[in-house]
Amino acid sequence: RGLISDEERYEKVIEIWNRTTGEVTDALMDGLDHMNDIFIMAHSGARGSKNQIRQLAGMRGLMASASGKTIEIPIQSNFREGLDVLEFFISTHGSRKGLADTALRTADSGYLTRRLVDVSQDVIIREEDCGTDKYLLAKDFKDGKEVIEDLRDRIIGRYSVEDIINPETGEIIVNKDEMITEDIADIIEQVGIKEVKVRSVLGCRTRHGVCAKCYGRNLATGDPVNVGEAVGTIAAQSIGEPGTQLTMRTFHTGGVAGADITQGLPRVEELFEARKPKGLAIISEISGEISINETKKKKEVVVTAKDGETKAYTVTYGSRFKVRPGDFVEAGDEITEGSVNPHDILKIKGVEGVQNYLVKEVQRVYRLQGVDIDDKHIEIIVRQMLSKVRIEEQGDTDLLPGSLVYLYDFEDINEKVIESGGKPAVGRRVLLGITKASLATESFLSAASFQETTRVLTEAAIKGKEDDLIGLKENVIIGKLIPAGTGMRRYKNIDIVYEDKEIETLIEEKHVDSITN
């Protein structure tokens, strides 16, 4: 009948004004002299953006109201011409929301940083090489067709696990255990290699920290990282600091009934706290072919594996499918649109699956806002979230079923039991959010200084816990030298030599000379 709903009319009006604003901006940028001061400022990336030049000399465009909805009357003037009364009034909505958001965001971002520091503060470079055989298979991070982070960015500053050979000439581009520099990464990209096996902190075997080989380059200096570097704190601050730049808003997706896709800071928090997200997607537990059965009230998706095993999932009307009948899905793939619960990924795809998912999702939020963070910072936090095992059967060990044990302690205890001919304990890796992981640390001093002080201390007293003072916080609390940098044990017993003489001897000789003179 040629009628459209009010919602559609609103969308179309917004679309027209956005297009108009875009065209005005393009005309303005084309008309600006390339030696214009403001153009140089924005173009060089020093301050400001195309967006802000548009408001100064083009048109301000559409404004958002306090609820985040776009007001359909645009501001056609710019700051240079000046705004009329109505335009000024419309623009106050957005300005006030901006200020309120910034105030809230600083507090949220600060608290996130504090939790990140707490969970990763005892991650220090403890040794040169842990000798692990685990690796990260690095490839482009993709979201559908769009590349979130390319292979080059992911491998620079990391050590290769094997010789990388040029497929065209057969010559070695980089040797095993050699660091991949910018130049090498460029060559790898040019010859069309799509996957590279590199060392990563996710596979590091070092206790209470990581090794220099798995960490790779120190991003502050560009050199290989030194033993004693407090990389955990660096990681936490690298993720937390740009937190204030992330937007606060929750996007409503058109068409999905009641499904909010959380973005920005709340999404990062949701990932690091390993929460069950809003608007859950249904994910397949097995690999197989899709078929869809429809009844009046519901749709049913059936996945049939090659061995004949089937799994059926009920899908409510209003959910949007990501698959079609006849598609082949892998275990852990999404059937409907929405967010995935990381605990489900751990169950279905295992530890590596959930590690990749968390790193990729955090990167997606930051990259969308134009913030570049190195993967290894996120990997350090994710490693801490997965450092515990929940005991299911105790075997011949002293471990209690249901208790959380540090992964490497669990492996050690089992090794000893197997050597003496006993039955090892059975455990399952668990994913803890950063707050839970901080409180589940071995050090009760560190946990007590973080949150829930009374509970942590009473529990420690009941269990008769001892604190080995391995991390940074517990040493700061009791006023001891922190075990990082030159405070590490390996730097304690060192004699400094200059021109074949020890420094202390040289100082004494000079002292004697000055007295005799």
Q: What is the topology classification, in CATH, of domain 6-83?
A: Topoisomerase I; Chain A, domain 4 (1.10.132)
Strand-pairing partners, residue 299, are 294, 315
Which among 392, 34, 467 has a CA at the least distance from the CA of 208? 467
What number of CA atoms fall less than 13 Å from residue 43's CA on the CB side?
A: 11
- Cα(320)–Cα(257) distance, rounded to whole angstroms? 9
**Tens-digit pLDDT profile for the chain (517 aa)?**
678 888 889 989 999 999 999 999 999 989 989 899 998 998 887 887 888 889 899 899 888 877 778 888 999 999 999 999 999 998 888 788 778 877 877 788 888 999 999 999 989 999 999 988 899 998 888 877 778 888 888 899 999 999 988 888 888 889 998 999 999 999 988 888 888 999 999 999 998 899 999 999 999 999 999 998 999 999 999 999 888 777 655 544 333 333 445 678 888 999 999 998 877 888 888 888 888 887 777 788 888 888 878 888 888 777 778 888 888 888 888 888 878 899 999 999 899 999 999 999 899 888 887 788 999 999 999 999 999 999 999 888 888 999 999 998 899 999 999 999 889 999 999 999 999 998 888 889 999 998 889 999 999 999 999 988 888 899 999 998 888 888 777 776 777 777 777 666 666 666 666 666 6
The two structure tokens encoding residue 259: 């499904």
The two structure tokens encoding residue 79: 């700051």
Q: What is the topology classification, in CATH, of domain 281-337?
A: OB fold (Dihydrolipoamide Acetyltransferase, E2P) (2.40.50)
Q: Indicate the pTM of the whole model.
A: 0.79
Would you say the CATH fold of 281-337 matches that of 6-83?
Answer: no
What pLDDT was estimated at residue 298?
77
Residue-range domain boundaries for the chain? 6-83, 281-337, 384-491
Is 515 exposed, middle or buried (CB count within 10 Å of its CB: 0-12, 13-18, 19+)?
Answer: exposed
User: What are 53-56's contacts with CB under 8 Å, separation 24+?
Assistant: 53/25, 53/28, 53/29, 54/21, 54/24, 54/25, 54/28, 54/78, 55/79, 56/80
- Cα(462)–Cα(467) distance, rounded to whole angstroms? 14
Q: How far is CA 264 from CA 69, 320, 355, in A?
A: 17, 23, 20
DSSP 169: T
CATH of domain 384-491: 1.10.150.390
What pLDDT was estimated at residue 149?
84
What pLDDT was estimated at residue 84?
92
What pLDDT was estimated at residue 397?
87
Which among 114, 113, 381, 105 has a CA at the least distance from the CA of 266? 105
- Cα(239)–Cα(267) distance, rounded to whole angstroms? 13
What pLDDT was estimated at residue 426?
92
> Do residues 88 and 63 lie in contact, with contact meaning Cβ atoms separated by under 8 Å?
no
